[in-house]
Amino acid sequence: MSERRPAAAADRLPVLKTHKVYVAGKFPRSESGRFDRALAPDGTPIANICRCSRKDVRDAVTAARAAQAGWAARTAYNRGQILYRIAEMLEGRSGQFEALLAAGGTAPDEAAVEVQASTDRLLHYAGWTDKFQQVFSSVNPVATSHFNFSILEPMGVVGVLAPESPLLGLVSSIAPAIAGGNTTVVLVTGGQPLPATTFGEVLNSSDVPGGVVNILTGRRDEMLAPLAAHRDVDALLLCSPDPDVARSAEIEAVHNLKRAAVRPHEDWADVQSPYEITDLQEVKTTWHPIGS
Amino acid sequence: MQTSTATASFESPPIDAVGVEERVARLCSRSIKKDAKLQALHLTLSMIDLTTLEGADSEGKVRQLCAKALQLHAALPDLPHVAAVCVYPALVGVAKRALEGSGINVASVATSFPAGQAPIEIKLLEVRKAVEAGADEVDMVISRGRFLAGDFAYTSDEIASVKEACGEAHLKVILETGELGTLDAVRRASDLAMRSGADFIKTSTGKIKPAATMPVVLVMLEAIRDHYLRTGEKIGMKPAGGISTAKDAIRHLVMVRETLGQDWLDPDLYRFGASSLANDVLRQIVKQRSGIYQSFDDFSL
């Protein structure tokens, strides 16, 4: 029997994957039909990615809105289980993510560290889902005959401008948002979109209900303004070191006074804290009359 | 009741279901943008029969719906008003008082809506009561059981007697196409209704799925066109149930324009029966004018 070997690269046309976007638990292409090339640092094309339009943004917001009430109604414990499940699936595909990061120019050993850190970050927020309420809610002393308490509620639909950091930054921005019961529309506009689109595949096989995380790829100047201005988006998480980018989005966001949290970090190794969750929570204070 | 076997004895043309699907698919691919879209959205609003047909309907609910009909969106006072408010007979009086002097009609379902399984005397009484209470339009259901059993004369007589009971009020005949099974039956029922005195033919009660699908509506529009060519009478059309987005509504308008022509792009001849369509249309109008995507939270119920 003759020995079978893979063909040398020169003898075969490579099959470039089209990385599709992740919306409402499905993997559609952009409604616009447009695509961009994802390039290796030396300029060779390594994949095709969708170049989404503002209509894709609109559809993603619709999906996120539809999923929000159900996701927030899950028990905090169950959200933690699902975040843990994402970590399990990411761990299982760590080799693939290391290869994607390496193809984008990350050194192999750094890539391995980044994938591990991303998995650990998911575990961190998985643990916090049913604990941050205990830490940050309060019973407040008041001078009247009221039982007065404050609890945290998710803001709703959070628009996320994903950071340049292709995996760790992405995970660090999505995890705290969904841990607290929000749903997200994530714009991936950096130079390395492939870990993000592949992370969509991880989410889809991790019991995350469709619409809780929606990942769009494309160009920032086409997608950010419509997302920031969209009146059905309740909050923004703007991960960009460029203050002008965050500022322009915040100006668009005034229409419905949505909250904007800005994350200018370039290194996401230490961006891990329950305050990342509470920044995307609204405080509800209740005055409950009690008998005198 | 006079018997009108003669009215019921005619042939309806057979329907090419595959051809209908293809025609619908082609019409759905039209792109309506910018000014034309805005115009279509305004026209859609003026064609809506704002509807509430729930067991839980109360006077308060109907008054609230009428308030909505009178003022669709406070921020846009220049919008056209809806064509009618559609309620159960028991609530016609409430709606009539709330809409007095506004030019908005009150429509009432009758004839033991939605099943239509009641003795004819009771159905006619219901129609008379609705008209007495002030209904400008009556939406009747046909007896689908008798129709499907082939008793076309009965269906024809039933429609004719209800028409008589309506007096001045306009009669819309609900075929409940979701229960008719085939497009051929839809065509047959449409022809029958128009020959028996319907002012409008209407697809569905909204209680049965599928309701106003595009192929069904196209078949009914073609029946209306053939009736017009045969008799010169312009019969109206009302798709109801399942049309909840502005996009769907615009597709319907394209189909009407292409099948029946400009004359039917008028609230007197075309209506949408819908409860949630109005807010989506409003959302699109505000989006079109401001450039900003809107939230349902910004529009009243």
Indicate if the pLDDT at residue B86 is higher than 90.
yes
pLDDT computed for residue B7 by the predictor: 66
Interface of B with A in 262-291 (CB under 8 A): 291
- Residue B237 corresponds to which tokens in the numbers above? 């059309």
pLDDT computed for residue B47 by the predictor: 97
Query: Residues B138-172, buried b or exposed e (16+ Cβ, 10 A)?
Result: bbbbbbbeebeeeebbbbbbbbbbbbebbeebbbb
Tens of pLDDT, residue by residue over A135-167, are 999 999 999 999 999 999 999 999 999 999 999
Average pLDDT for B125-144:
96
A61 in reach of chain B (CB within 8 A): yes
- HSE value, Cβ hemisphere, 13 Å, CA-based, for A16: 14
Please list every residue in chain A whose beta carbon sits closer than 8 Å to the beta carbon of residue B294: 231-232
Indicate if the pLDDT at residue B1 is higher than 50.
no
Domains of chain B: residue spans and CATH:
32-294 (3.20.20.70)
- HSE value, Cβ hemisphere, 13 Å, CA-based, for B144: 21
DSSP B2: -
Cross-strand pairs, A22: A215
pTM, 2 dp: 0.90
Class of domain A21-38+45-289: alpha beta
pLDDT computed for residue A292 by the predictor: 63
Interface of B with A in 145-204 (CB under 8 A): none
A12 in reach of chain B (CB within 8 A): no
A284 in reach of chain B (CB within 8 A): no
Are B295 and A256 within 8 A, CB to CB?
yes
Tens of pLDDT, residue by residue over A41-60, are 999 889 999 999 999 999 99
Tens of pLDDT, residue by residue over B228-251, are 999 999 999 999 998 999 999 999
Q: Which of B10-14, B56-60, B275-279 has the highest mean pLDDT?
A: B56-60
pLDDT computed for residue B13 by the predictor: 95
Write out the catalytic residue numbers of B: 139, 202, 238
Please list every residue in chain A whose beta carbon sits closer than 8 Å to the beta carbon of residue B298: 231
pLDDT band at A8 (very low <50, low <70, confident <90, very high): confident
Indicate if the pLDDT at residue A217 is higher than 50.
yes
Interface of A with B in 124-163 (CB under 8 A): none
**Of the candidates A83, A76, A95, the residue with the CA atom closest to the CA atom of residue A154:** A76
pLDDT computed for residue B5 by the predictor: 55
pLDDT band at B262 (very low <50, low <70, confident <90, very high): very high
User: Mind telling me how many Å the CA of B55 is from chain A's nearest CA?
Assistant: 26
Helical residues (DSSP H) of chain A, grouped into ranges: 54-73, 76-92, 94-103, 108-128, 132-136, 168-179, 194-204, 220-229, 243-252, 274-278
Are B292 and A255 within 8 A, CB to CB?
yes
Handedness of CA A181, A185, A190, A195 (dihedral sign): positive
Q: How is chain A split into domains, by residue range?
A: 21-38+45-289
- Mean of all residue pLDDT scores within chain B: 94
**Of the candidates B133, B78, B81, the residue with the CA atom closest to the CA atom of residue B103:** B81
pLDDT computed for residue A129 by the predictor: 97
- Residue A26 corresponds to which tokens in the numbers above? 């499905």
ipTM of the complex: 0.84
Plot region of B134 (φ>0 → left; ψ -120 to 50 → alpha; else → beta): left
DSSP A123: H
Of B291, B292, B293, the CB nearest to A61: B293
Are B297 and A229 within 8 A, CB to CB?
no
d(CA B31, CA B37): 9
The residue of A227, A232, A251 whose CB has the most chain B CBs within 10 angstroms, and thus the best one to mutate to test that interface, is A232
Please list every residue in chain A whose beta carbon sits closer than 8 Å to the beta carbon of residue B75: none
A231 in reach of chain B (CB within 8 A): yes
What number of C-beta contacts closer than 8 Å exist between A and B?
23
Of B293, B296, B297, the CB nearest to A230: B293
Tens of pLDDT, residue by residue over A242-290, are 999 999 999 999 988 999 999 999 999 999 999 999 999 999 999 999 9
